[in-house]
Amino acid sequence: MSKKKQFGILCSFLVLTSSFILHGENKLPNDIRWVRESSEYNNLCAQIFTQARKEIIKTTKSERNRKNHAVVVDLDETVLDNSRYQVERWETGLSFTQDSWSDWVNREDAELISGAKVFLTAIRKEGVQVIFLSNRMDSNLKPTLRNLEALGVLDSSDLFLLRKNKFDTKETRRSEVLEGKGRMKKHGPLKVIGYVGDQMGDFPNESKADFGKSNFLLPNPMYGKW
Ligand SMILES: [Mg+2]
């Protein structure tokens, strides 16, 4: 084989290899790509919120005394789409850290999950109290409020139970809602007719019968306790 031919083959090999490497590096991992780029993700979220809206309105209309009905809604990957944070971490080759997460929350750049706005507007109209119960730190309440307001999903009637410290579990806060104690003392006990979240920890029970009735689970392939 001539030297010229050998050089040609080598060049072709290098071009093929480098394009493979570049393509591989540029392509987002499937989990993040599904959330950011697929119609399936958006339609699935909207579908779940539609079902949640119908079931919750049906429940609240079926009870005469419905003054104290509430729905407990998670924030991240339920109402707020933080997939851009996941992209940025992936681009830098780093994983989740509390500091980088706090920086992200303070940027107020989270986007809106499909279907969330219609759902929240509809249940508020029925007199259902919306309670955002999230593991965002309570110290990050202000940027969270501004982010929600900019997305058009904040109402002055909404209540927030964010995490005060590592002992302040979601279970603790859920019992404050049900028993009207602690941070919920001035509101009195509320009857929670629905929970919406993306992690099993967003629900008080894992009873299969409750999913689709009072528990509404959004998809999140990017992180979780699996
Ligand atoms: Mg969440």
- Cα(213)–Cα(86) distance, rounded to whole angstroms? 31
pLDDT, tens digit (0-9, with 9 covering 90-100), for 174-190: 999 999 999 999 999 99
Examine the domain organization and report whether 29 and 68 are in the same domain. no
Q: Distance, CA 72 to ligand 1 centroid (Å)? A: 12
Token pair 């209540």 is found at 159
What pLDDT, on the 0 to 100 scale, is given for residue 22? 44
Tokens (6 digits) for 54: 């119908």
What angle (nearest 5°) sits at the alpha carbon of residue 33, between those of residues 85 and 203? 70
Tokens (6 digits) for 130: 């919306």
Examine the domain organization and report whether 46 and 135 are in the same domain. yes
Which pairs count as long-range contacts for 146-149, CB under 8 Å and 24+ apart, including other chains?
146/108, 147/80, 147/105, 147/108, 147/109, 147/110, 148/79, 148/80
The amino acid at 80: L
Examine the domain organization and report whether 44 and 89 are in the same domain. yes
Inside any domain, residue 224 = no
Q: Distance, CA 8 to ligand 1 centroid (Å)? A: 53
What pLDDT, on the 0 to 100 scale, is given for residue 24? 53
Inside any domain, residue 92 = yes
Q: Distance, CA 162 to ligand 1 centroid (Å)? A: 12
Q: Distance, CA 24 to ligand 1 centroid (Å)? A: 29
| pTM given for the model | 0.88
Tens of pLDDT, residue by residue, the chain (226 residues): 555 555 444 444 444 444 444 445 579 999 999 999 999 999 999 999 999 999 999 999 998 777 899 999 999 999 999 999 999 999 999 999 999 999 999 999 999 999 999 999 999 999 999 999 999 999 999 999 999 999 999 999 999 999 999 999 999 999 999 999 999 999 999 999 999 999 999 999 888 899 999 999 999 999 999 9
Q: Distance, CA 78 to ligand 1 centroid (Å)? A: 6
User: What proportions of the chain, in percent to the nearest 5, are helix, strand and coil?
Assistant: 55, 15, 30
Tokens (6 digits) for 220: 């999140």
What pLDDT, on the 0 to 100 scale, is given for residue 21? 46
Examine the domain organization and report whether 177 and 149 are in the same domain. yes
Overall size of the chain counted in residues: 226
Q: Distance, CA 222 to ligand 1 centroid (Å)? A: 11
What pLDDT, on the 0 to 100 scale, is given for residue 131? 98
Of 101, 89, 47, the C-alpha closest to 218 is 47
Inside any domain, residue 226 = no
Examine the domain organization and report whether 186 and 159 are in the same domain. yes
Residues 51/212, Cβ–Cβ less than 8 Å = yes
Of 45, 27, 50, the C-alpha closest to 221 is 45
Helix/strand number for the chain, H first, E second? 8, 7
Q: Distance, CA 21 to ligand 1 centroid (Å)? A: 34
Q: Distance, CA 200 to ligand 1 centroid (Å)? A: 9
Token pair 């093929």 is found at 16
Examine the domain organization and report whether 89 and 59 are in the same domain. yes
Structural domain for 21, as ranges? 7-37
Examine the domain organization and report whether 82 and 46 are in the same domain. yes
Q: Distance, CA 226 to ligand 1 centroid (Å)? A: 14
Inside any domain, residue 1 = no
Examine the domain organization and report whether 120 and 26 are in the same domain. no
Q: Distance, CA 197 to ligand 1 centroid (Å)? A: 6
Q: Distance, CA 79 to ligand 1 centroid (Å)? A: 8
Inside any domain, residue 27 = yes
| Number of domains forming the structure of the chain | 2
Residues 62/181, Cβ–Cβ less than 8 Å = no
Q: Distance, CA 215 to ligand 1 centroid (Å)? A: 14
What pLDDT, on the 0 to 100 scale, is given for residue 206? 85
- In terms of phi and psi (left: phi > 0; alpha: psi -120 to 50; beta: otherwise), the region of 24 is alpha
Residues 96/224, Cβ–Cβ less than 8 Å = no
Residues 178/142, Cβ–Cβ less than 8 Å = no
